[in-house]
Amino acid sequence: MVSLQAIWRHPDDLYPMVKLKLAARRAEKQIPAEPHWAFCYSMLHKVSRSFALVIQQLDTDLRDAVCIFYLVLRALDTVEDDTSIATEVKVPILMAFHRHIYDPEWHFSCGTKDYKVLMDEFHHVSTAFLELGNGYQDAIEDITMRMGAGMAKFICKEVETIDDYDEYCHYVAGLVGLGLSKLFHASGKEDLASDTLSNSMGLFLQKTNIIRDYLEDINEIPKSRMFWPRQIWSKYVNKLEDLKYEENSVKAVQCLNDMVTNALVHAEDCLNYMSALRDPAIFRFCAIPQIMAIGTLALCYNNIQVFRGVVKMRRGLTAKVIDRTKTMADVYGAFYDFSRMLKSKVDDADPNAKKTKENLEAILKICRDSGTLSQRKSYIIQSKPQYNATLIAVIFIILALLLAYQSAIRPTNICTIWKVPYVIVVNV
Ligand code: IN0
């Protein structure tokens, strides 16, 4: 639910949010009729909302392949994550997962909530996988095999060094980049990207998730999940969990800034990868998560809240990113804005300030050298929103249309979702 305060502070979020909401409705209505495909697409909508929307714009063949790839990887991840499975049971499943996807009779029950449904009804995913073209099947099989083996290796191994961290992230995310590059190539729409650049695309996203999810992972029951490398955190505290205690706040933020500085190294490769894409739909599909990642890093940097609760980009900003990302100029503009926002937060007393600024300078230079920055619409938030008669009128019209739309499709439940902005009109 979006709060009244959030919309009041960022009124220009409202239009992209309404657009996104309507696009989500349309996407959910377009679920295919065949039961196995219906299961796959409705599962995709349940486990990943913005990804499910972004995938929607890909051409059918490629979209089906990416949907199945995503669900296979989610299933593999569900096995890896389930701490109630004994290691001697888990390792053989991870190692053989690339064969199970060819067998609609195979199933293994684990996970919770939507993930349990995905595992229990995995035959739908296998059935759909078997309908994909051979090029797509081979790419998915190869990556599933390599990821399963990598996950099995890390079941009994902690992330000690920065090399371990890069290796772990390669298995769980870098390989996704390699796999997607293969799928794009198999679709005939793109040249095959290099493994190094493809890997960086995954590492940038995964390292951002690992930074953002510190508290959730450390508080995981029955056992903490630890992905921050000892080589980094041991410079600041004796145990990784000490970062969450108030008395260690200064050290915690320094450690966080060290982690963000490490993640920023991949941004340059990501920009190079995206600049080589030719198909507009594939481009948007790749660019939106990358912009969300740099935005999240800018939000997390120097932010003690990472150790206290959930730090996420507000929904309105996510909607704006989805709405505005169309060309490489938009990507340079967003990377430039978020890097500048991050740079403004660097305190010279931070132990890694120099390195952080160097990494940011490298990103800013690429964006400047693109020569496209003058066209951008800024993501940097104004301290006070600008209200004028036109804006208020636009908000009023959008809300009226929305209410009309809601009452047309749900006559008995008019205001369940949108009653909050309704109050704004009264306030205005
Ligand atoms: C992804 C990636 C993803 C998308 C597009 C291009 C990519 C290129 C290389 C590597 C990964 C790429 O995107 C999703 C995004 C996602 O799931 N977002 C969540 C929100 C969130 O905060 O987690 C959502 O609800 O929409 C992603 O994070 N991963 C992923 C997994 C499979 C595929 Cl096919 C593509 C996961 C990960 C581990 C970062 C690779």
Q: What is the pTM of this model?
A: 0.91
With a 6 Å cutoff on the Cβ, whether 72 touches ligand 1 is no
pLDDT at 264: 99
pLDDT of residue 222: 84
- Half-sphere exposure of residue 416: CA atoms within 13 angstroms, side-chain side: 7
Q: Confirm or reject: Cβ of 227 under 6 Å from ligand 1.
A: no
Q: Could you tell me the distance, in angstroms and rounded to a whole number, from the CA of residue 169 to the centre of ligand 1?
A: 13
Rounded to the nearest angstrom, the distance between the alpha carbon of 56 and the centre of ligand 1 is 14
Decide whether any atom of ligand 1 lies within 6 Å of the 204 Cβ.
Answer: no
3-state secondary structure of 121: coil
Report the residue among 40, 47, 51 best suited for mutation to probe ligand 1: largest number of ligand atoms under 8 A from its CB. 51
CA 332 to chain centre: 19
| Inter-axis angle of helices 35-47 and 113-120, nearest 10 | 160
Q: Check pocket membership of 151 for ligand 1, CB cut-off 6 A.
A: no
Identify which of 168, 295, 174 has the alpha carbon closest to the alpha carbon of residue 227.
168
Residue 275: closest CA among 366, 175, 380, 178: 366
Each residue's pLDDT expressed in tens, for the chain with a length of 428 residues: 566 677 778 888 888 888 888 888 888 888 899 999 999 999 999 999 789 988 998 999 999 999 999 999 999 999 999 989 999 999 999 999 999 999 999 999 999 999 999 999 999 999 999 999 999 999 999 999 999 999 999 999 999 999 999 999 999 999 999 999 999 999 999 999 999 999 999 999 999 999 999 999 999 988 888 999 999 999 999 999 999 999 999 999 999 999 999 999 999 999 999 999 999 999 999 999 999 999 999 999 999 999 999 999 999 999 999 999 999 999 999 999 999 999 999 999 999 999 999 999 999 999 999 999 998 877 765 556 666 677 777 777 777 777 777 667 654 332 222 222 222 222 22
Specify the ligand 1 atom closest to the Cα of 292: 22
Residue that is written with structure tokens 């994550």 in the block: 81
Query: Which atom of ligand 1 approaches the CA of 198 most closely?
Result: 9
Please state, in angstroms and rounded to a whole number, the distance separating the CA atoms of residues 19 and 322: 10
CA dist 204 to 191, 210, 267, 284, 392, Å?
22, 10, 7, 17, 39
**DSSP letter string over 114-131?**
HHHHHHHTHHHHHHHHTT
**Is the shortest distance between the CB of 201 and ligand 1 below 6 Å?**
yes
Output the 3-class SS for 64-106: HHHHHHHHHHHHHHHHHHCCCCCHHHHHHHHHHHHHHCCCCCC
CA distance 206 to 406: 37
Which atom of ligand 1 has the smallest separation from the CA of 54?
26
Cβ of 63 below 6 Å from ligand 1: no
Pair 284, 54: CB distance under 8 Å: yes
Contact 78, 108 (CB under 8 A): no
Alpha carbons 355 and 232: distance in angstroms, whole number: 14
Give me the pLDDT at residue 382, please: 53
Assign residue 236 a region (left: φ > 0; alpha: ψ between -120 and 50; beta: otherwise).
Answer: alpha
The enclosing H or E element of 252 equals: helix 249-264
Buried b (16+ CB within 10 A) or exposed e, 159-186: beeeebbbbbbbbbbbbbbbbbbbbbeb
